[in-house]
Amino acid sequence: MSRIYGVNLISRMSGAITDTIVSAIPKTTISGNKTQKRIDWIGEKFSSPENRLILGVSALMTQPFIDAQNKKVDEETRKVSVARTVAKIIAGTLTGYYVRAGCIKLIDEMTKLPSEVKNPNSFGGKLRMLFTPDDAKTGALKSLKKYKNALGTTISLVVMLFTNFLIDAPLTKYLTNLFTDKFIKPKDQKGGTVNE
C-alpha cells in the first residue's frame, strides 16, 4: 500500500514539475532547415543502442572524475574505484550496445510484413513473420520500426540476463585488474592485493 502511495507521489510530483516547466517555456519554433533535419534524423535512426552508446561515452567523461574527487575515502580505494568505474563503463557500454543492436537486427529479420516474404506459408516465411503483430498486418500500426526497436530492446534484456554475468562482470573484473596493475599499483606491490 505504502509502495503504491510512494509511486503515486513520485508520479504526481513529476507531473506537477512537468506542468510548471512546460508553462514556463516560451513558444519556440525550430525554423532552421538543418536543425529540423537533424532532429527528424535522430528520431528516425536512433534507438536504445545509440542511447546506450551516448550514455557510455558521456559516462567516461564524468564518472571517473567524480570518483577521483571523493576525498572522503583513502587514496588507494579512490584509485581502485576509478579503475573499476572506467572498466565497468567500457564493458557495460560495449556489451550493452552490441547486445541491443544484435537483438534489434534479429527482430527486424523476423518481423516482416506478408508482402515482404516470398512464401508466407512456408516454414521460413512463417519464421520471418514470427514477431509481426496483427496491427501491422492489417495496416493499423504505422510505426513498425519503433515496435521492432522496442521488442528488440526487450529481448535484449533477456539476453543481458546472461551476458551481464557471462561477459560484463568478468570483463569488468579483468579490466579493473588490468588498470589497477598498470596504472595504480606501485611496481613492488604487483601480485598482491592493494592496501591489504
Partner 1 sequence: MSSASLFDAFKNYMAKNYGKSHGKMLIHTGVIGWILSAAAQVMAIVTNDKISYKQKMYLIPQELADAAVNIVSFYLITQTFKSVSTKAVNCGKLLNKPVREFLEKNNIKNVGKKTFDVLRDGKLPADLTEKFESFRNGVDFIGTTAGSILSCNIVTPIIRNEIATHKQKNHIAKMEEYNISVANPARNYFEKPSIQSFQAKAYSSSLKI
* DSSP reduced 3-state for 142: coil
Residues 6 or more apart whose Cβ sits within 8 Å of residue 136? 111, 113, 144, 147
Place of cell 506542468: 19
Interactions with partner 1, residue window 41-80 (CB under 8 A):
41-44, 46-48, 51, 54-55, 58-59, 61-63, 66-67, 70, 72-73, 76-77, 80
Residues 6 or more apart whose Cβ sits within 8 Å of residue 49? 96, 97, 98, 100, 101, 104
Binding-site string for partner 1 from residue 88 to residue 127, where x marks contact by CB under 8 A and - marks none: x---x---x-------------------------------
Q: Which of 15, 124, 182, 183 binds partner 1 (CB under 8 A)?
A: 15
Q: Which of 1, 2, 5, 23 binds partner 1 (CB under 8 A)?
A: 23
DSSP letter at 91 equals H
Q: Does 4 bind partner 1 (CB under 8 A)?
A: no
Cβ proximity to partner 1: between 54 and 124 the closer is 54
